[in-house]
A and B are shown apart, each in its own frame.
Chain A
Amino acid sequence: MSSLIIKAEGFTPPGPADFELPAIAFGVTKPMLQLVLAAVIVFVFFYVAARHRQVVPGRLQFAGEQGYNFVRNSMSRDILGTHDFMKFTPYLFALFFFILVNNVFATIPFFQFPTFSRSGMVYGLAAMSWIIYNAVGIKKHGFLGYLKLQSVPSGVTGPILALLIPLEFLSNIIVRPVTLALRLFANMLAGHLLLILFALGGEYLLVELGGAYAAVGILSWVMFIAIAFLELLVQFLQAYVFVLLNAMYIQGALADEH
């Protein structure tokens, strides 16, 4: 055990420094380029897919429609209801595929960096979500009406109510954007960190230590591959959860009864 510690001291574990990529030019970093590229990819793909809009769709149009339908029907319409959902579908649709493509960049060769492991990128989207659902609620119920809707649970009276009002306010107004941002950001950061750790650790065990440690190095690389596939699932799930919660927050702000 003590010999392992001594040997491991030669290994520098991956850390936050691995996410501070140097600027390519003029202060523009790789995640910034990925962010823009993701937006371009999403727009161009769906624009081309929707351009001809035939009654009997071709392959590309079908793929585009499936993607659009996924957000439109299974998220937007199911949560927001048939009355309001078209107002928010473009937002949810753009958001889902924007996040998804940015997340998948973590796996695509030559990119291999999750854009949203940069906290600033996620804070922006979370702040936007917070503004949108609150603005929608205030517009519908008025400022005080909206505060009441989000803070005062119905069917509760007495001292419990006094206890619940600050809790509800905290959870519905203050905490939501924070959890929304951290969930996406931390998942992307941790997943990528884990991949770096298995890749570099495996390399260190195999190349620097060798011998009996080589087997562990191989195992480490196997784990790297397994985690990479797990990450694919996480990338999709995080995009899905982010948009699903957006839709649910908007639905909650629009609701007549809490």
Chain B
Amino acid sequence: MHTLTTALVVEAAEGELNPLVPHTAEIVLSLIVFGILFFAVRKFVVPAFEQAYAERTAAIEGGIAAAESKQAEADARLAELEAQLADARHEAARIREEAREQGAAIIAEMRDQAQTEATRIVENGKTQIEAERQQAVTALRAEVGAIATGLAGRIVGESLEDEARQSRVVERFLVDLEAGTSGVN
């Protein structure tokens, strides 16, 4: 080990192979090579990358702007449609209301008409019935008088053919009849 250390020390002391001592050619070469690389990179590579970034930024910003305008357009369209929808709903409600009112009016009108018609028919019926009753009463009065006088004439044996008498008897009978039913039966 001692020999080894000594050998290293001796070698370093000789200074022939000191790695710290540069070769001038290497200094110059490294400067030239790096210089060329630097200028080539500055001229061709960095601008290309920077341009790519700029284009990307522009594309992204453009995309965002386009999306924003699309969004705004869509929002406006949506608002418009919603307004239209609200209008339509309103309109429908109005029409429904109107129809209901109209329907109610029609029903009321029809009911009125029917009522009037019914009343008229009833009136008619009543009048007719009254007329027929009157007619019947008149007819009955004549017939009942004749039958009664005929019957009475037979029972009494007395001819009641005499006009005046007959009519007197009938009148009295009818008066009795109207006063109460006991006289006849």
Q: Which residues of A contact B (CB under 8 A)?
A: 5, 8-9, 13, 15-17, 19-20, 27, 31-32, 35-36, 39, 42-43, 46-47, 50-51, 53-55, 57, 61, 64-65, 68, 72, 86, 89-91, 93-95, 98, 117-125, 127-128, 185, 189
Q: A39-B34, A94-B37 are in contact. Are A119 and B49 (CB under 8 A)?
A: no
Stretch at the interface among B16-24, B97-105, B108-116, B169-177: B16-24
In the assembled complex, which residues on chain B have CB atoms less than 8 Å from the CB atom of A5? 1-4
In the assembled complex, which residues on chain A have CB atoms less than 8 Å from the CB atom of B23? 118, 120
In the assembled complex, which residues on chain A have CB atoms less than 8 Å from the CB atom of B36? 39
Q: Is the CB of B44 within 8 A of A55?
A: no
Q: Is the CB of A121 within 8 A of B3?
A: no
In the assembled complex, which residues on chain B have CB atoms less than 8 Å from the CB atom of A17? 17
* Cβ < 8 Å to A, chain B residues 18-62: 18-31, 33-34, 36-38, 40-42, 44-46, 48-52, 55-56, 59
Q: Is the CB of B29 within 8 A of A32?
A: yes
Q: Is the CB of B3 within 8 A of A53?
A: no
Among all A-B residue pairs, the 8 with the closest Cβ atoms: A120-B26, A120-B22, A50-B48, A124-B30, A53-B52, A90-B42, A16-B17, A39-B37
Report Cα–Cα, A17/B72, bound state, in Å.
75
Q: Assuming A53-B52, A122-B30, what are 12 further A-B pairs, CB within 8 angstroms?
A: A5-B1, A8-B4, A43-B37, A43-B40, A43-B41, A47-B44, A50-B45, A55-B59, A94-B42, A119-B21, A123-B22, A124-B31
Give the size range of B's interface with the partner.
Answer: 35 or more
Q: Is the CB of B3 within 8 A of A94?
A: no
Residue of B with least CB distance to A41: B37
* Cβ < 8 Å to A, chain B residues 102-145: none
Contact of A43 among B11, B22, B45, B48 (CB under 8 A): B45
In the assembled complex, which residues on chain B have CB atoms less than 8 Å from the CB atom of A127? 27, 31
Q: Is the CB of A15 within 8 A of B48?
A: no
Return A187 CB to nearest CB of chain B, in Å: 13
Q: Is the CB of B55 within 8 A of A119?
A: no
B67 within 8 A of A: no
Q: Is the CB of B22 within 8 A of A119?
A: yes
Q: Is the CB of B11 within 8 A of A15?
A: yes
Residue of B with least CB distance to A118: B26
Q: Give the number of residue pairs across the A-B interface with Cβ within 8 Å.
A: 133
In the assembled complex, which residues on chain B have CB atoms less than 8 Å from the CB atom of A27? 25
22 chain-A/chain-B pairs, Cβ below 8 angstroms: A5-B3, A13-B4, A13-B8, A16-B17, A39-B34, A42-B41, A43-B37, A65-B49, A68-B45, A68-B46, A90-B42, A90-B45, A91-B38, A93-B45, A120-B22, A120-B26, A121-B27, A122-B30, A123-B22, A124-B26, A124-B28, A124-B29
Contact of B33 among A16, A19, A39 (CB under 8 A): A39
In the assembled complex, which residues on chain A have CB atoms less than 8 Å from the CB atom of B33? 35-36, 39
Report Cα–Cα, A64/B4, bound state, in Å.
49
Q: Which residues of B contact A (CB under 8 A)?
A: 1-4, 8, 11, 17-31, 33-34, 36-38, 40-42, 44-46, 48-52, 55-56, 59
Report Cα–Cα, A49/B12, bound state, in Å.
47
Return B58 CB to nearest CB of chain A, in Å: 9
In the assembled complex, which residues on chain A have CB atoms less than 8 Å from the CB atom of B52? 50, 53-55, 57, 61, 65
Report Cα–Cα, A5/B4, bound state, in Å.
9
Return B171 CB to nearest CB of chain A, in Å: 129
Q: Is the CB of A42 within 8 A of B34?
A: no
Q: Is the CB of A120 within 8 A of B34?
A: no
Contact of A15 among B8, B21, B44, B50 (CB under 8 A): B8
Q: A51-B48, A65-B49 are in contact. Are A120 and B27 (CB under 8 A)?
A: yes
Q: Is the CB of B17 within 8 A of A50?
A: no
Q: Is the CB of B45 within 8 A of A128?
A: no
Report Cα–Cα, A189/B11, bound state, in Å.
17
Q: Is the CB of A35 within 8 A of B30?
A: yes
Report Cα–Cα, A192/B125, bound state, in Å.
136
Q: Is the CB of B4 within 8 A of A16?
A: no
Return B54 CB to nearest CB of chain A, in Å: 10
